[in-house]
Structure 1
């Protein structure tokens, strides 16, 4: 193998290493950007959680002042949500011919 061939191979490896290095730098910048966005999102979610808790406390105080049973209302809301989810599941099962994701279609075994 001649020196020219070796030099060419070293040049190709060097160029490829440069490309990989640039890609790594780009990925690093993207990760830093995503970390900042994640921190911002976390801060926003924390602030929203705090506001929700404040609003809930106000609503509970108003409800109690008006004689509303908060536990009964929240229990009924949970039941209504569960009923709605069950209806959605039944509708989805009906839309796919009654099959669930765990049950393969007939003849597919």
Structure 2
């Protein structure tokens, strides 16, 4: 093999190295951007958690002033959500809770009339 063959191989290796270097720089830029995005997201989550805690404290204070049992309301909301989730999983079927809820609504409406 002559010098021409060696030069071609060296050029090929050089081209491959430049390609790897370019890809590495692109990857480095992506990592830096991802770190910045992650930090921004973390800051945003921290701020939202703080705001949610403040809102919860305000709601609890208002509920206490109005004599509302926050734990009962929260439990009822969770139960309702679980019932809706169960009903959504089995379309076309009504549960006993749905039937009871519907009959309660009918009774309330009839008593208002």
Q: TM-score, normalised by structure 1?
A: 0.79
C-alpha distance in 2 between matches for 1:90 and 1:7: 71
C-alpha distance in 1 between matches for 2:6 and 2:90: 69
Map of 2:62 onto structure 1:
62
Q: How does 1:1-109 map to 2 (within 5 A)?
A: 1-91=1-91
Following superposition, the deviation at residue 66 of structure 1 comes to: 0.4
Unaligned ranges ≥5, structure 2: 92-113
C-alpha distance in 1 between matches for 2:71 and 2:50: 21
Structure 1 stretches (4+) deviating beyond 3 angstroms? none
C-alpha distance in 1 between matches for 2:40 and 2:5: 53
Q: C-alpha root-mean-square deviation of aligned residues, in Å?
A: 1.0
Structure number with higher relative contact order (C-alpha < 8 Å, ≥ 6 residues apart): 2
Following superposition, the deviation at residue 89 of structure 1 comes to: 2.0
Unaligned ranges ≥5, structure 1: 92-109
C-alpha distance in 2 between matches for 1:32 and 1:90: 46
Map of 1:94 onto structure 2:
none
C-alpha distance in 2 between matches for 1:21 and 1:86: 54
Number of aligned pairs? Answer: 91
Q: TM-score, normalised by structure 2?
A: 0.76
Map of 2:106 onto structure 1:
none
Following superposition, the deviation at residue 88 of structure 1 comes to: 2.2
